[in-house]
Amino acid sequence: MTTDSTLMEEAAALKDTLVKDRRHIHAHPELSYNEEQTAAYVARRLEEMNIPFRTGIGGHGVVAILGADNHGPVVALRADMDALPIQEENKAPYASKNDGVMHACGHDAHTACLLGAARLLRDREKDLRGTVKLIFQPAEERLPGGASIMVEEGVLEDPDVEIIIGQHVFPDMEVGHVGFRSGMYMASSDEVYVTIKGKGGHGGLPHFAVDPVLITAHWITAAQQLVSRRAFAGIPTVVSFGRVEALGATNIIPDKVKIQGTIRTMDEKWREELHGLLRDLTTGMAESMGGSAEIEIRKGYPVLVNDDRVTKRARAVAEHLLGSDKVHDLDIRMASEDFAYYAQRVPACFYRIGTGNAAKKIGAPLHTSLFDIDEDALVVGAALMAAIAEDALKAEG
C-alpha cells in the first residue's frame, strides 16, 4: 500500500470549494430521475477543471475520465446525485429551496466529494498509473435504481472498469472517522404489495361477512414466522409491513385490505426461496379463511458484497491517511444500496465516512427532515476517494 500523505493537505486547501459545491447542490435538490440541474452543475464544474465528460447516461448521469491516455488499469469512483421527497426543517442558509424535496441522504456531499477527488486527481493526472472513471449517478433512491440503468448502458465499459469505489455519509460516526466491512455489507431490498379480499358487511353481523381484516391479522403474524421459523439462522432476514389500509369503519367490515411492505436479506438464494414461501402463504391462508389474495413482489436492489482484497487495501489507505484509530469495522446494514449492481460486475468497496459532530449537535439520522453534516467530512471524503483510487491503480498496474 502506497499513499501520498499530502492529499489531506491538498483536500483541506479545497475546503471552501467543497463546501460551496455541497451547499449549492443541497439548496437545489432534485428527485430521482429528475436530476437535470444537478447534472448540469456537475458538468459545469468538470468543464471548469478541464476534465472531459459525457452526459445523459442512465438518464441524467455524468461520466468523466482522467488519464485516458495512461497505460494501466481502470478504477471507477461513484457518487449519487438524487434527493428525497422530504420537507427540510433545517434553517441553514443553504437549506432546500425546492418545496418538499431535500438532500436527506447526503448525496449532495457524495457529489461534492467526488468533484473534490476529481480536482485532486486531475492535478496529478500524468502520474496516475492508469485511468480513473468518475461516475456521477442519478436515481439511487428509486427502483430500478440508476446504477442498474447505467450498467445496462455500459458505464463499466469503454474503458473496462476493473475496480469500483463508493462512499456514503454516516451521521452515527464522528467526523474524521471512517468505516469498512469486507464481504456481505448491505441487504437486498424488495417491495411487497398485497391485497386480501373478503366480503364486507356489518361489524355487528360478522357471520354474514368474510373479514379480510382478520385474515390480514393472521397473515402478518404468519409472515413474520417465515423469518423466525424458515430463515436460516446465519442469514439476516427482515420482513416488515409499513402500510395496512382497510378503509372500513367502527361498524363496517371492508371488502378488502391492502398491505405494503419490504423483504430484506443477505443471501440471494434464500431471497428467491423466501419470495416463493410468501406467495404460497398469502394465497393459501386467504383461501383457507374463505377469502382470496393477490401478491406482487417487486424485486429491488441485490445484496451488496464488498470484495475482500479491494476493501482491505482501501482500509489500509484510510489508516495511513487518517490514523488507525480513526478507522473502524462496520456492522452489516439491512438498508440497501444500488451500488450493489456495480459490485455484482467488478470487485468493489463501499465504505462510510463519519459526518456527525456531537459537540455541534450534528447527528440527525439519514432520511429525516433535520439531517445535516459536519462539512469537515467533505475534506476527508475527497482525499480518501482520491487516495484509494491512486493506490488501487498502483496495486493493479
**Domains (ranges, CATH) in the chain?**
7-185+302-396 (3.40.630.10), 190-298 (3.30.70.360)
Q: What span, in angstroms and rounded, lies between the C-alpha atoms of 275 and 297?
A: 7
Mean per-residue pLDDT over the chain, rounded: 97
DSSP-derived pairing of the beta strands 304-306 and 183-186 = antiparallel
Taking alpha carbons only, the member of 147, 183, 181, 188 closest to residue 305 is 183
Burial class (CB in 10 A: 0-12, 13-18, 19+), 17: middle
CB 146 within 8 A of CB 137: yes
Q: Which three cell numbers stand for residue 308?
A: 475482500
CB 394 within 8 A of CB 73: no
pLDDT at 396: 76
Q: What span, in angstroms and rounded, lies between the C-alpha atoms of 43 and 309?
A: 33
Burial class (CB in 10 A: 0-12, 13-18, 19+), 189: buried
Inform me whether the pLDDT recorded for 394 exceeds 80: yes
Inform me whether the pLDDT recorded for 1 exceeds 60: no
pLDDT at 4: 64
Q: What is the pLDDT of residues 268-318, one digit of tens each?
A: 999 999 999 999 999 999 999 999 999 999 999 999 999 999 999 999 999
The band of 395, judged by pLDDT with boundaries at 50, 70 and 90, is confident
Q: What is the pLDDT of residues 124-133, one digit of tens each?
A: 999 999 999 9
Q: Which amino acid is at 49?
A: M
Backbone φ and ψ of 340, nearest 5°: -55, -30
Q: What span, in angstroms and rounded, lies between the C-alpha atoms of 94 and 18?
A: 14
Inform me whether the pLDDT recorded for 2 exceeds 60: no
Q: What span, in angstroms and rounded, lies between the C-alpha atoms of 312 and 52?
A: 31
Inform me whether the pLDDT recorded for 397 exceeds 80: no
Burial class (CB in 10 A: 0-12, 13-18, 19+), 16: exposed
Inform me whether the pLDDT recorded for 367 exceeds 90: yes
> Mapped to the 3 state alphabet, what secondary structure does the chain carry?
CCCCCCHHHHHHHCHHHHHHHHHHHHHCCCECCCCHHHHHHHHHHHHHCCCCEEEEECCCEEEEEECCCCCCCEEEEEEECCEECCCCCCCCCCCCCCCCCECCCCHHHHHHHHHHHHHHHHCCHHHCCCEEEEEEECCCCCCCCHHHHHHHCCCCCCCCCCEEEEEEEEEEEECCCEEECCEEEECCCEEEEEEEECECEECCCHHHCECHHHHHHHHHHHHHHHHHHHCCCCCCEEEEEEEEECCCECCEECCEEEEEEEEEECCHHHHHHHHHHHHHHHHHHHHHCCCEEEEEEECCCCCEEECHHHHHHHHHHHHHHHCHHHEEECCCECCCCCCHHHHHHCCEEEEEEEEEEHHHCECCCCCCCCCCCCCHHHHHHHHHHHHHHHHHHHHHC
Q: Which three cell numbers stand for residue 387?
A: 487516495
Q: What span, in angstroms and rounded, lies between the C-alpha atoms of 358 and 356?
A: 6
Q: What is the pLDDT of residues 231-245, one digit of tens each?
A: 998 999 999 999 999
Q: Which residues are catalytic?
A: 82, 140
Predicted TM-score (pTM) of the model is: 0.94
Percent of the chain residues topping a pLDDT of 70: 98
The band of 3, judged by pLDDT with boundaries at 50, 70 and 90, is low
Backbone φ and ψ of 239, nearest 5°: -125, 115
Q: Which amino acid is at 83?
A: A
Q: What is the pLDDT of residues 136-184, one digit of tens each?
A: 999 999 999 999 999 999 999 999 999 999 999 999 999 999 999 999 9
